[in-house]
Structure 1
Amino acid sequence: MKKMYIVRHCEAKGQASNSPLTEKGFKQAEELNTFFNNVPVERIISSPYVRAIETIQPLAERLNVEIEMNSQLEERVLSTKSLSDWPEKLKRTFENPCLKFEGGESSEEAANRILEVVEGAFKSKFEHTVIVTHGNLMALLLNNYNKQFGFNDWANLSNPDVYLLNSNSNGINFERLWNKVRG
């Protein structure tokens, strides 16, 4: 049974692609490294954003596993306009996956990006893969496998967060792992 660990990046100093982790975020990255001590991780695929790379760097270095950058794992752009009511707009995109705002992508479009990466990873030879991404993309992926996972679940994600996707004869199911160890 193949296992896919979907990781949301640790606490960062901002939302820009070049925003690094905070001091707390670097400590969280070390906690993640420890969290994966008993997992035989063979492959790491990450968003090219600095905060995602810095999140998984300690694990990659310890295991001597190359981090594969994949732009399909970049944060979802809700709009290129500044939206003062962006949480309400984001909530609407969970209710209507085809809804798009100026310069942005729909939930459906964003979900398709990460789904392509996950499906490709499940078809690969590797049994244990870590995929590092961003909160909205993670939530859209999980929503694909369980439509009950929505806006409120996105709002309750932590930095970092870890979900395990299992692929078996019944399809793909998931469970949250990070809250089990972090309370």
Structure 2
Amino acid sequence: MKTYYFIRHCQASGQSEEATLTQQGIVQSQALAQLFSDIHLNQIISSPYKRAVQSIEPLAHEKQLKIHIDNRLSERVLSSKILDDWYEKLKLSFTDMNIVFEGGESSQDAMYRIVEVLHEQIDSEEDHTLFVTHGNIMSLLLKHFDSTIGFKEWKNLSNPDVYILKYHSADHVKIERMWNAT
């Protein structure tokens, strides 16, 4: 069995790539470091977004692990345009996985890229890897392994949120929520 951890970043000041953690987010990042203090990790792979990296810096420092950046862990872009009805469009994208809005990425394509990152680790025999990512893309990873996961589960994610994925085989994957901020 291989074990992987997926973390949604801590509370941030915004949605841009450069958005930083809030004061509460900084406290949450320290709580994450505490949560993982007795858990063995081989590596950390993070989205390049500032809030994702800042979320895991205290843990990386404590474990003396380098944070590897992988752009495929970046948040899914729903559209390059400002959508007044973005919430409804996001909801629709969980039922129509192939729908694409102007300048955006389909749920199916976003799912593919995060699953690809995980499978590279599985295929390389890497274990005890921690991934830091974002809510929409993380919920799509969870949906890949459990088709019942959708918009409601995305909506119920917290900042931060932590899931553990235990991989026995392609047909036997166990996912559980390990911790969340609520």
Q: TM-score of the superposition, structure 2-length normalised?
A: 0.96
Looking at structure 2, the residues matched to 138 and 52 of structure 1 have their Cα atoms a distance apart, in angstroms, of 12
The sequence identity of aligned pairs, in percent, is: 46
Q: CA deviation at 1:127?
A: 2.1
Pick which of 124-133 and 70-79 moved more.
124-133
Q: Which sections of structure 1, spanning at least 5 residues, go unmatched?
A: none
Alpha-carbon offset, residue 123 of structure 1:
2.1
Distance between the aligned counterparts of 2:60 and 2:122, measured in 1? 20
Q: Aligned partners of 1:32, 1:166: CA distance in 2, in Å? A: 19
Report the RMSD for the aligned CA atoms in angstroms.
1.1
**Residue 72 (structure 2) pairs with residue 84 (structure 1):** no
The residue type paired with residue 135 of structure 1 is: G
Instruction: Show structure 2 runs of 5+ residues with no match.
Output: none
Tell me which residue corresponds to 1:148. Answer: 148
State the secondary structure of the residue aligned to 1:178.
strand
- 1:15: Cα distance to partner? 0.4
Aligned to 2:42: 42
For residues 33-112 of structure 1, the aligned pairs below 5 Å read: 33-112=33-112
Across the two proteins, how many residue pairs are aligned to each other? 181
Matched, 1:20 2:14: no
Shift of 1:124: 2.6
Distance 2:7 2:178 in 1: 10
Q: Distance in 1 between matches of 2:4 and 2:87?
A: 29
Q: Distance in 2 between matches of 1:127 and 1:71?
A: 20
Measure the CA separation in 2 of the matches of 1:45 and 1:123. 16
Alpha-carbon distance, 1:37 to partner: 1.4
Cα distance in structure 1, aligned partners of 2:168 and 2:115 = 17
The alignment's TM-score, normalised by the length of structure 1, stands at 0.96
